Copies of this chain bind each other. A is one copy, B any other.
Amino acid sequence: MDKLILESAWLDGGPRDVLVADGKFANTTGDLSPQDREDAETVDCRGLALVPAFYNGHCHAAMTLLRGYADGMPLDKWLQECIWPFEARLGPGDIEIGTRLAVLEMIKSGTVFFSDMYWQREITMRVVEEMGIRATIGVTIAENLEPPERIEEHFRFLAEHRFETDRVRLAVMPHAIYTVGENVFRRCAEVARAEGYILHTHLSETRREVDDCLRTHGCTPAELLDRWGALGPNLVAAHCVHLTGPEMARMADAGATAILNPCSNLKLGSGIPPIAAMLAAGMKLGLGTDGASSNNNLDMHEEMKIAALLAKATPGGTAETLPAARALELATASTAAAYGLRAGRIADGCLADALLVDLADERLAPAHDFTGNWVYSADSSSIRSVLCAGRFVMRDRRIPGEAEIVAEAERAAARLAGRPPRLP
């Protein structure tokens, strides 16, 4: 058995020894038996708080290569004039390099899982396996970007594989209702339901998407998903900025999850998701960063703080809406649960994914309220070490190969943008 004891880690207001075994928390009571301690590796965690790691519910990891490439543009123009032409030049090697930069950045900021809607899924899987974190990786379907024969290949892949390791799973990811037609979207929903996959899509991201949907289909986007047979407990819908009251009620009723990406929505001028109303409707919610080209980072701590702040300014919101503990839950256990992971809490039986946070950080003082300080005051730089599945993926802020990952990403991005690389 693979055993680790986190000695004197701060948890629930005091230091205690925590046992990790076979990638899960095995004893978090602080009362370890001699048997618990037998053959266990120990790590000194004095002065470090043990807190849940982050789960990123919506991302396009390799798009780190496009960070800052075309800022200050609205979504439609940004996609059509800048992002899609740049992406058309991305080779498999570029996607590997961009994904490595993304995973590096996520680990540094405490994220151990991401849901990835992108291309070259095998490459992404390999990078995630190698770097030691988790992902749900999309079989991405976009009829506007790929010919019918490629779409058929994706469905064949889904029929022939049931790829799943401890840390990496597949999901069916039709891009959006405006890039995937009714027939293909229905097939995505059917295969996901039949094979037990998560169905992940963009939903109601911009006002224009809603207006086009109303004009073309005579209903709102979530109503269209419902009509297309896609609205169920395995639906994880990103954005949901412009949902109506009836759509919120229907999604809550169906047990679908909305993944909020407030930074990206603000940056692209898409609006603010109606968080207070979503909470009041009893919707399942999670958080994601979206890609680094519209955020422009993959820092779930920032996303959590901004969601907690914004919620209070949405219609029906007050200073009491989405308090710190609930915001932390959205960024951890709720997002993990949307992807079928029992994780995001430091509790017996949960996946041993966690952060060791430096209690001496000036932003965690004074100690009136640790959770409040963690959500509203600290940033991800107070994270000293990151555990995923009971193993350290960052220790004392060091990640193997870091400098080379950053340098390689700069070289690839410069080549793709047709500019000289910035010398180190």
Contacts and interface: CB of A to CB of B under 8 A. Distances in A.
Contacts of A299: 363, 379
A421 interface: yes
Contacts of A318: 74, 269
A104 interface: yes
A269 B321 contact: yes
Contacts of A367: 410, 413-414, 421-422
Interface stretch (A132-140, A173-181, A306-314): A306-314
A297 interface: yes
Given A376-B297, A379-B380, A369 B68 contact: yes
B267 A417 contact: no
Contacts of A323: 71-72
A209 interface: no
Nearest to A13: B422
A157 B318 CA distance: 41
A362 B72 contact: no
Interface in A379-412: 379-381, 402-403, 405-406, 409-410, 412
A208 to B, nearest CB: 13
Q: Tell me the number of copies of this protein.
A: 2
Nearest to A75: B319
Interface in A329-388: 359-363, 365-369, 372-373, 376-381
Nearest to A321: B269
A409 B360 CA distance: 11
A78 interface: yes
B359 A319 contact: no
Contact of A366 (B65, B263, B272, B312): B65
A179 to B, nearest CB: 20
